[in-house]
């Protein structure tokens, strides 16, 4: 489950038919009274595939993860036969939920999540981890916080998506996160896309604080927008969560403690020795390259596609992540 200017939209007719046909002619048109020939229209720039956009990207189109706001969640199992660690990498979003992120960082550094477990995996919905028994103290962190469902839009960089959204007046990207905005209310918030990480809560809006976290592993549950404090998104390793066995109790909770998936540790990237870090770069969302990538998703020009949709949903725009190329 990481564009700050308007996405280019090619003319619909050109996209649908490959060329712009003649303007509708009046019935009074006469070949003998033809008007002077108009200048030929400037052809629209060709739409590249996502693979072409990525191949043409420049080093400046990418940014490294900020170690101070990146978490390594290590599951107590191996990811593959190559004995690779089962590491889920989460980029936090303090610009949208500063108090929750600070609280989570306090808990992580105190070892709160170490030895806990993934206790809920609900099909086409979320994977959730935390203290299933509710007995572990949070130390210097807070048990609950005032909800941070959204924030003032003033000063928040925002690159709108050209297409209409069902759940919000406007959607786009901000600092590498898919977001929604309501200018009439002056509010902006992160959207529930695949890989988004939120802080679980009870019925009281202010009953969460980051002790229990979840990641979206299914179709984007956008009805949850502005009902949960979203604290970040998984940038690598979401497959490790989405492939876990589904819980069979209500809401996908595991019925027996032995079914839970143990967490070895959760660490802040800045606290991990350089040799143990996973080098990653995320594509910046405030560049012409990312705008071209968005357009490649709106109008798929890959050979397999026979119809171009001409539009895209906010959660269907991937934010690429890569291992930095060697110099």
Q: Rounded CA gap, 134 and 141, in Å? A: 15
Span 89-118, mean pLDDT?
A: 98
- Tens digit of each residue's pLDDT (9 = 90 or more) over 205-224: 999 999 999 999 999 999 99
Share of the chain above pLDDT 90, in %: 82
Judge contact between 69 and 228, C-beta under 8 A. no
pTM, two decimals, is 0.85
CATH fold for the domain made of 66-280? Cyclophilin (2.40.100)
* Mean pLDDT of all residues in 244-266: 97
Average pLDDT over residues 39-67: 85
For the chain, give the secondary structure using H, E and C. CCCCCCCCCCCHHHHHHCCCCCCCCCCCCCHHHCCCCCCCCCCCCCCCCHHHHHHHCCHHHEEECCHHHEEEEEEEEECCCCCCEEEEEEEECCCCCHHHHHHHHHHHHCCCCCCCEEEEECCCCEEEEECCCCCCCCCCCCCCCCCCCCEECCCCCCEECCCCCCCCCEEEEECCEEEEEECCCCEEEECCCCCEEEECCCCCCCCCCCCCEEEECCCCCHHHCCCCEEEEEEEECHHHHHCCCCCCCHHHECCCHHHCEEEEEEEEHHHCCHHHCCCCEEECCCCHHHHHHHHHHHCCCCCCCCCCCCCCCHHHCCCCEECCCCC
Give me the pLDDT at residue 46, please: 84
């Amino acid at each position: 489950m990481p564009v700050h200017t308007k996405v280019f939209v090619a003319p619909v007719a050109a996209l649908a038919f490959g060329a712009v046909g003649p303007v509708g002619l009046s019935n009074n048109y006469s070949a003998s009274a033809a008007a002077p020939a108009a200048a030929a229209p400037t052809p629209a720039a060709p739409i590249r595939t996502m693979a072409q956009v990525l191949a043409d990207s420049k080093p400046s189109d990418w940014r490294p993860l900020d170690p101070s706001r990146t978490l390594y969640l290590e599951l107590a199992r191996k990811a593959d036969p190559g004995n690779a660690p089962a590491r889920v990498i989460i980029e936090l979003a303090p610009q949208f939920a500063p108090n929750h992120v600070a609280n989570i960082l306090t808990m992580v550094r105190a070892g709160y999540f170490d030895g806990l477990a993934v206790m809920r995996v609900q099909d086409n919905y979320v994977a959730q981890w935390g203290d299933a028994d509710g007995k572990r103290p949070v130390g210097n962190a807070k048990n609950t916080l005032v909800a941070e469902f959204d924030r003032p839009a003033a000063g928040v960089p925002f690159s709108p998506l050209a297409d209409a959204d069902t759940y919000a007046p406007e959607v786009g990207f901000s600092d590498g996160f898919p977001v929604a905005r309501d200018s009439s209310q002056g509010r902006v918030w992160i959207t529930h896309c695949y890989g988004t990480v939120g802080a679980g809560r009870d019925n009281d809006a202010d009953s969460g604080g980051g002790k229990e976290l979840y990641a979206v592993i299914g179709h984007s549950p956008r009805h949850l927008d502005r009902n949960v404090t979203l604290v970040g998104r998984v940038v690598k390793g979401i497959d490790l969560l989405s492939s876990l066995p589904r819980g069979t109790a209500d809401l996908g909770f595991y019925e027996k403690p032995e079914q839970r998936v143990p967490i070895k540790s959760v660490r802040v990237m800045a606290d991990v020795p350089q040799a143990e870090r996973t080098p990653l770069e995320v594509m910046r969302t405030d560049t012409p390259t990312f705008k071209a990538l968005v357009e490649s998703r709106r109008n798929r020009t890959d050979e397999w596609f026979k119809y171009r949709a001409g539009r895209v949903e906010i959660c269907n725009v991937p934010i690429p992540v890569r291992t930095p190329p060697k110099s």
